[in-house]
């Protein structure tokens, strides 16, 4: 079979813009993620982090899973409770709840970085394992598209196009955000290299000074002993 030349049209169909659009389509068309399930021992803490950009919406909901299917959700044992605190990258509290079976939170990020959600279960004797489900979404995934469709009275095709548009905007903003982070890291690397250079010169100066003082001390010692 004849090989394709590098300059042929068939070898240039995967352009960056095409790949970006394809990724956006697959992301928008993919089914919504299911809640994650975790096991937490009483008296212990489990933390989950999510990197969120400034002005991005974040929503989450959590619920304790019944230890036995025969338990009604409203009558779980007292040992099966969790507490949750969500904090921003700078340590500001975004949500707090204590000894609950379920709950939810929503906030708009005012700081860029890793937001931390820490769950802990009250100490219990004998120890028990609390299973809970946690669903945390941010950005485009946090938008309630069913309400958007109801309020705007749009059909499914238009709704999918709106999803795709918001997804492409989110990817575009993410690229700029990553570029800003890259510039910040480069600035930090340059500052670190500059400081290390000055530290090296300072260390060299100190070593030369100590060597000079030692030579001066030895010279005066030998002159005093009349060995020189």
Tell me the CATH number at 107.
2.60.120.680
pLDDT of residue 169: 79
Confidence at residue 24, expressed as pLDDT on a 0 to 100 scale:
46
pLDDT digits (tens, 9 = 90+) for 113-161: 899 999 999 888 888 889 999 999 887 776 665 555 555 555 666 667 7
Q: Minimal CA–CA distance to 54: which of 139, 130, 137, 129?
A: 139
Q: Give a yes or no: residue 12 inside a domain.
A: no
Average pLDDT, the chain: 78
* 166 or 83, higher pLDDT: 83
Number of domains in the chain: 1
- In a domain, residue 121? The reply is yes
Q: What's the half-sphere exposure (Cβ side, CA atoms, 13 Å) at 44?
A: 12
At residue 46's C-alpha, the angle toward residues 44 and 51, to 5°, is 160
pLDDT higher than 90, residue 112: no
| Assigned domain for 207 exists | no
The pLDDT value recorded for residue 83 is 93
First to last CA, the chain: 91
The verdict on residue 99 lying in a domain is: yes
In a domain, 19, yes or no: no
pLDDT value of residue 154: 54
Nearest to 42 by CA among 7, 4, 82, 89: 82
Kindly state whether residue 45 falls inside one of the protein's structural domains: yes
Q: Which domain holds residue 55?
A: 34-68+78-139
Residue pLDDT, tens place only, 169-220: 778 888 888 888 899 899 999 999 999 999 999 999 999 999 999 999 888 8
Looking at the domain assignment, is residue 176 inside a domain? no
pTM: 0.57
pLDDT at 80: 84
């Amino acid at each position: 079979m004849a090989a394709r030349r590098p300059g042929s049209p068939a070898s240039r169909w995967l352009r960056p813009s095409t790949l970006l659009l394809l990724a956006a389509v697959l992301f928008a068309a993919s089914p919504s993620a299911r809640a994650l399930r975790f096991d937490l021992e009483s008296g212990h803490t489990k933390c989950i982090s999510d990197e969120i950009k400034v002005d991005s919406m974040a929503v989450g909901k959590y619920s304790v899973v019944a230890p036995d299917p025969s338990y009604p959700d409203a009558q779980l044992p007292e040992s099966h409770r969790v507490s949750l605190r969500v904090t921003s990258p700078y340590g500001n509290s975004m949500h707090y709840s204590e000894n609950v079976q379920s709950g939810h939170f929503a906030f708009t990020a005012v700081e860029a970085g890793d937001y931390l959600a820490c769950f802990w279960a009250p100490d219990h004797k004998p120890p028990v394992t609390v299973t809970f489900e946690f669903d945390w979404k941010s950005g485009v995934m946090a938008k309630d598209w069913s309400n958007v469709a109801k309020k705007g009275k749009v059909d499914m095709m238009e709704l999918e196009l709106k999803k795709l548009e918001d997804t492409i905007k989110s990817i575009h903003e993410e690229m700029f955000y990553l570029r800003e982070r890259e510039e910040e890291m480069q600035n930090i690397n340059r500052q670190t290299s500059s400081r290390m250079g000055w530290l090296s010169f300072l260390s060299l100066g100190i070593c030369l000074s100590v060597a000079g003082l030692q030579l001066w001390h030895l010279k005066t010692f030998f002159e005093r002993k009349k060995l020189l």
